[in-house]
Structure formats: C-alpha cells, structure tokens
Chain A
Amino acid sequence: MILNINYFGLVAEATQCQQEQLTVAANCTVTALQQQLYQLHPALQDKPFRVAVNRAFVPVEQPLQAADEIALLPPFAGG
C-alpha cells in the first residue's frame, strides 16, 4: 500500500523534504515503517523522532492503513 509521510523540523532537514509517498507492505507496522525509512534516508538513523499516526502516538506494532496520516515528529520545542 502507499503511505503519505509528513516530516517536520530536524527530520525534514534530514530527509530534505516535507512530505513523500512510500510503498510499504500491507500490514506494515510503525516499527517496520521506521526501518524502511532508515534505509531510504540514512541521515535519519541518528535523529530523535517519534512517529504519529492520525495525530496520536500509537503502539509500534499496530498495523498501518493506507488512509493513515503519518508524521515523523522530532522533539517538541513549544513555549
């Protein structure tokens, strides 16, 4: 399936883009997605970030769905 991935902050700086589409396996989990992204963007390997799915942090073994809104979020700095 195809996922839309959104990047922010230092993650967007590492990937050199703010958004991209990725083809992943049908039952791809957050963990599997992260591994795939590390392969695609080696610059991410030493960067701190969490993966949000539909604007929330979910268990990393939860299977993703094609319509999920995915975002890689580096540490927060509000306030």
Chain B
Amino acid sequence: MSKLKIPKKVFMQGGIPAAFIATSIAKHQSKTDIGAHNIFLGQVRADVIEGKTVKAIEYTAYEAMAKEKLHEIRENTFEQFDITCMHIHHSLGAVAAGEICLFVFVSSPHRDLCYRASRHIVEAIKQEVPIFGKEIFEDESHQWKENN
C-alpha cells in the first residue's frame, strides 16, 4: 500500500490540544509492526525581546505552496528513511505562549530511524515551508518572527 497516495491535512486552527496528540498515539496501537515512535512538539515560547514578552504567535501561511512543500517533505522523508508512518500538524491563527504549534509524529520498527527522520522533518519544515509568524507582545505591539 502506498504511503503517499493522498495529501494529508496539516493545518489546524489555534494551538494543538494535548488530547489530539494522545488520540494520535492511541490510533497507532493496532500497528503492531511499530516498535518506536518519536514525537516532536513545537511550543510557543514567551520570549522576552527588548523588555517585551511574547504572549502569542499568529501564524499565517501561503497555503497552496505550503501544502506542496509539506508533501515533498513527506515524500523525501519516506525515500530517505524506511519508517512506517509520519504525521505533521501545524497551527494557523493565534497560538498562546505555552501552547503547541507543531506536532511531528514518526513511527518505525526500530528507534534509530525515528530519531533521524523526526529531526529531518522538523528542520525541513523550518527551512522550506512558507509559514509566517507574527509575535504578539503583552502590550499588543508585534514583530515578525524569523527562523534561523
């Protein structure tokens, strides 16, 4: 069965709830060829910039291109790493400090591939996917986030 047949839904409004992550884990219980999962969670950090504290990040995206890039990332991850499955979810809209904005879930029979594939996916998302972040400070002013 092809792992790549349909583009997967990645974006969701607001922070990614812990219950969603728990449900995703539970859904894999029947896949008994899996021996390892690696879960990466990106959380909005209350950065202090020039004395002002970030209270939320508002995410927007060039969705048509982002979907293509995410699909490419999935394809080349499966080509490079013989993992069983992967899931990527990213927030759009406002995500408060402390909430989760990125959820990457990789599963494989053994752990080595999991660690490596997960890292590969997260770095690729940060480099290649046109998602934009407006950092909103507690005083309602803002600046634009830039990945490094």
Residues of A with C-beta under 8 A to B21:
none
A67 interfacial by beta-carbon distance below 8 Å: no
In angstroms, Cα B122 to Cα A66, docked, is 35
Q: A52 with B65: in contact, given A75-B147, A76-B147, A78-B147 (CB under 8 Å)?
A: yes
In the complex, the answer to whether A71 meets B146 with C-beta atoms within 8 Å is no
Q: Looking at the complex, which one of B57, B122, B128, B132 makes contact with A74 (CB distance below 8 Å)?
A: B132
Count class of interface residues, chain A: 10 to 19
B144 interfacial by beta-carbon distance below 8 Å: yes
B125, chain A: closest CB distance, angstroms: 5
In angstroms, Cα B60 to Cα A13, docked, is 12
A9 interfacial by beta-carbon distance below 8 Å: yes
Q: A77 with B62: in contact, given A8-B130, A9-B134 (CB under 8 Å)?
A: no
In angstroms, Cα B131 to Cα A9, docked, is 9
Q: A8-B62, A71-B130, A76-B146 are in contact. List 17 more A-B contacts (CB 8 A).
A: A6-B62, A9-B132, A55-B62, A55-B68, A69-B64, A71-B65, A73-B130, A75-B146, A76-B147, A77-B145, A77-B147, A78-B130, A78-B133, A79-B42, A79-B90, A79-B102, A79-B122
In the complex, the answer to whether B126 meets A79 with C-beta atoms within 8 Å is yes
| Chain B residues at the A interface, C-beta cutoff of 8 Å | 42, 57, 59-62, 64-65, 68, 90, 101-102, 122, 125-134, 144-147
In angstroms, Cα B134 to Cα A47, docked, is 15
Report the number of A-B residue pairs with Cβ-Cβ less than 8 Å: 70
In angstroms, Cα B128 to Cα A8, docked, is 15
In angstroms, Cα B62 to Cα A6, docked, is 9
- Which residues of chain A in 10-66 are interfacial with respect to chain B, using CB atoms and an 8 Å cutoff? 10, 13, 48, 52, 55
In angstroms, Cα B62 to Cα A13, docked, is 15
B54, chain A: closest CB distance, angstroms: 12
Q: Looking at the complex, which one of B64, B146, B147 makes contact with A79 (CB distance below 8 Å)?
A: B147
